[in-house]
């Protein structure tokens, strides 16, 4: 069996299995009671598990977690089909059409059949064109006369991710710093304002200024072409590993970390950092 046929049959089996699970008479009670709303938290959990598997570099786990995430997509589509909104074919056709439209350098005629013609666009040019095409799509979908580039940035996104998305949209209209030095100067300014807010004792102002600092840090990451979420995840991992080192060393001495003087913990912390090099 060739790969294309196998992939088609495997996906069809998953769609059929989902229909069975939702069957009113013989289906699973838990699956039958789920709604588009109730699935949201499960979907978010599955996304995080995919990311964890990728970070661990475990191919088998990545495969399994992607399967769980794919099941979520089929689940949503099945519920929508039952409500006569759309089905899984509509979902697939929609994304195919969208990607054909957004890759004119690969599919110049807007069809799969036009694939194979040469393109000399760089990755940066492709990304810029992508944003321009998306802006045009937003404008064409809108009923009102004016459409903001800030429209349709999901509010449920993690805050750092959403900050980067908003900044990227603004940058597509040339509202941006010219270089990293400009962002660093802004970061220094925001930190000074946070210091003033801390001195004032105004909690609301402190939250405001801290938010500005974090927002500017995301801008810095964008200019450095770094992923702020990934950078924080790495920092979390380093902190966790170092703290586990403290716990292990304390346990070998028959005490808890809370029993060890802070100056000794700082020495141990440096030892933990040294082991990372």
Q: Within a 13 Å sphere around the CA of 234, how many CA atoms are in the beta-carbon half?
A: 7
What is the second-level CATH architecture of the domain 1-86? Orthogonal Bundle (1.10)
* pLDDT value of position 141: 64
Domain with CATH 1.10.287.1080 in the chain: 1-86, 159-226
Q: Give, for all 277 residues of the chain, the pLDDT tens digit.
A: 678 899 999 999 999 999 999 999 999 999 999 999 999 999 999 999 999 999 899 999 999 999 999 999 999 999 999 999 999 999 999 999 989 888 888 888 778 888 887 677 777 777 777 777 777 776 666 555 667 888 888 888 889 999 999 999 999 889 999 999 999 999 999 999 999 999 999 999 999 999 999 999 999 999 999 999 889 999 999 999 999 999 999 999 999 999 999 999 999 999 999 998 8
C-beta separation of 226 from 252 below 8 A: no
Question: CA-CA distances (angstroms) from residue 235 to 51, 110, 180, 229?
Answer: 16, 43, 22, 10
| Among 29, 31, 18, 13, CA closest to 78 | 18
Q: Which two tokens stand for residue 116?
A: 């194979």
pLDDT in the model for residue 114: 80
Are 250 and 271 within 8 A, CB to CB?
no
Q: What pLDDT score was predicted for residue 236?
A: 95
**Beta strand segments in the chain, E:** none
Report the pLDDT value the prediction gives residue 142, as an integer from 0 to 100.
Answer: 58
Are 222 and 164 a contacting pair, CB within 8 Å?
yes
Q: Which CATH architecture has domain 159-226?
A: Orthogonal Bundle (1.10)
**Residues shown for the chain:** 277
Close Cβ partners of 175 (under 8 Å, ≥ 6 residues apart): none
């Amino acid at each position: 069996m060739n790969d294309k046929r196998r992939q088609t049959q495997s996906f069809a089996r998953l769609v059929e299995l989902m229909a069975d699970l939702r069957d009113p008479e013989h289906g699973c009670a838990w699956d039958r009671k789920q709604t588009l709303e109730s699935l949201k938290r499960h979907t978010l959990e599955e996304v995080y598990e995919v990311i964890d598997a990728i970070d661990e570099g475990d191919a088998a786990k990545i495969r399994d977690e992607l399967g769980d995430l794919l099941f979520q997509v089929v689940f949503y589509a099945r519920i929508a089909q039952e409500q006569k909104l759309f089905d899984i074919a509509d979902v697939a056709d929609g994304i195919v059409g969208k990607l054909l439209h957004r890759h004119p350098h690969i599919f110049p005629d807007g069809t799969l059949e036009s694939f194979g013609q040469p393109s000399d666009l760089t990755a940066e040019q492709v990304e810029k064109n992508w944003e321009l095409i998306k802006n045009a799509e937003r404008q064409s979908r809108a009923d009102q006369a004016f459409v903001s580039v800030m429209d349709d940035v999901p509010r449920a996104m993690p805050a750092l991710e959403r900050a980067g998305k908003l900044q990227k949209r603004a940058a597509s209209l040339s509202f941006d710093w010219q270089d990293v030095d400009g962002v660093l100067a802004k970061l220094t300014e925001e930190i000074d304002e946070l210091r003033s807010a801390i001195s004032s004792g105004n909690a609301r102002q402190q939250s405001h200024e801290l938010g500005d600092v974090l927002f500017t840090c995301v801008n810095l990451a964008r200019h450095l072409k770094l992923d702020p979420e990934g950078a924080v995840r790495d920092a979390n991992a380093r902190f966790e590993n170092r703290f586990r080192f403290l716990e292990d060393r304390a346990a070998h001495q028959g005490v808890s970390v809370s029993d060890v003087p802070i100056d000794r913990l700082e020495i141990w912390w440096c030892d933990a950092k040294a082991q990372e090099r």
